[in-house]
Amino acid sequence: MTNRIYAVGDVHGHHDKLVEIHARIAADRQETADEVAPVIHVGDLVDRGPDSKGVVEFICNGVDRGEPWRVLLGNHDRLFRQFLGNASLRDSILRQGLNWLSDNMGGRLTLRSYGVDTAPGRPVADIQASAAARVPPRHRQLLAGMSQWYEAGDILLVHAGIRPGIPLGAQTEDDLVWIRREFHDHDGPHPWLIVHGHSVVNEVTHYGNRVNIDTGAGWGKSVSAIVIEDRKVWVLAPEGRRELRADPDA
């Protein structure tokens, strides 16, 4: 049987778009009679969209049913997890003066989806206490259990990318969930074809050594999914598979 992997890009709190993407995966499964191929979500389930709670609940329900789903840690998932653990904790990668509750980060929208009052002027400690009470334990367990990568032969899935030339076991979480320029600028081969999100592209793009599947859900655009078989890649479009060819000059 062909080795098959499904991958879902950044969701950013758009429950309706995630449901639609999983319907496309289900249709492809029916076409291929494959109920066991893993579905890897490359992270950033939360923030900026209207229903982060619904997204996390959808994933939790699938995992509880025994669906072959995995979720990788995204930088926004990490920010959410950090906030639940310690309201004063600020991610070291964020520039000075920016934190998860800053307007452009989307944390307040995530908390509102859980019914948390995030009104301006409310003390952060009070917001954190309310979040700790309202975010279900199973949601926190999902956040705590997110993997940093998923490796299957010569395919590697990760949220943001890797630092080129560094063995996988020596990669830092900071790079795996935040890296951009050093990874994007590397046009040589990696030990794997790397599938990632984190950096918005207008459409799913295959660069030869990597495939970017973040098509901008965090900014109101689409959630995308692909299917990979023996390094061949197809986008799961509404009408079905569309082959994605490598374009190193993209």
Query: What are the pLDDT tens digits along the chain (250 aa)?
Result: 468 999 999 999 999 999 999 999 999 999 999 999 999 999 999 999 999 999 999 999 999 999 999 999 999 999 999 999 987 777 889 988 899 999 899 999 999 999 999 999 999 999 999 999 999 999 999 999 999 999 999 999 999 999 999 999 999 999 999 999 999 999 999 999 999 999 999 999 999 999 999 999 999 999 999 999 999 999 999 999 999 999 988 8
pTM of the model: 0.96
The pLDDT of residue 90 is 76
Pick the closest to residue 110 from 56, 177, 43 (CA basis): 56
> Which residues are paired to 242 by β-bridges?
235
In the sheet where 225-229 sits, what is the strand order? 69-71, 39-41, 4-8, 225-229, 232-237, 240-244
Q: CA 8 → CA 18, 24, 44, distances in Å?
A: 9, 11, 11
Output phi, psi for 133, to 5 deg.
Answer: -80, -30
Output phi, psi for 195, to 5 deg.
Answer: -110, 130
- Using DSSP, state whether 138 is helix, strand or coil: helix
Write out the two tokens for 250. 């993209």
- How far is residue 47's CA from residue 103's CA, in Å, rounded to a whole number? 11
Query: What domains can be seen in the chain, in order of their start residue?
Result: 4-157+217-244 (3.60.21)
State which H helix or E strand residue 242 sits in. strand 240-244
Q: What is the DSSP string of 48-109?
A: SSS-HHHHHHHHHHHHHHT--EEEBPPHHHHHHHHHHH-TT---TTSPTT--TTSTTT-HHH
